Amino acid sequence: MEVVGIWRIVEMDLWDIDAIDLTQPAFVPFDGDGDGGLRFVAVQGQLDWRTSAQGQGDRVEFTWEGDDEGDRVSGRGWAQVDEDGSLRGHIYFHLGDDSGFRAVRDISSDSGTASVTRSWPGSCSTLVPGR
């Protein structure tokens, strides 16, 4: 199973579901061109992903940059489709926290057809569902 599509974040190591969905439902969408986004707690960002050079099937590695309550943030991460069809990965903040996560494919959207919108002034476009 490939990672392209919209994934709903349902678990994170550092935060419970109420915190994860603090401002809006948490998502991590990946498009077919290596672009994507992330949204959880008060964090929104754009990510740039590539298939892992480690040859581990559907594993991708990414860098990201965005906004956390008005502060610019950035980092890196990885994600991999598990045998059960969920997406598991880890998100790292540059010089800050890091958290594992689990996401499930958003069945309300077509795989790989996320809409593109602006998430914050002056940012790059970020993929987010339902906009």
pLDDT at 101: 98
Q: What is the pLDDT of residues 19-41, one digit of tens each?
A: 999 999 999 999 989 999 999 99
Give the mean pLDDT of 95-104. Answer: 96
- State the pLDDT at residue 111: 44
* pTM, to two decimals: 0.80
Give me the pLDDT at residue 1, please.
56
**Does residue 57 surpass a pLDDT of 50?**
yes
Structural domains in the chain, CATH included, are 5-110 (2.40.128)
Residue 106 · residue 114 · CB < 8 Å: no
Q: What pLDDT, on the 0 to 100 scale, is given for residue 40?
A: 97
Query: What amino acid is encoded at 111 in this protein?
Result: S
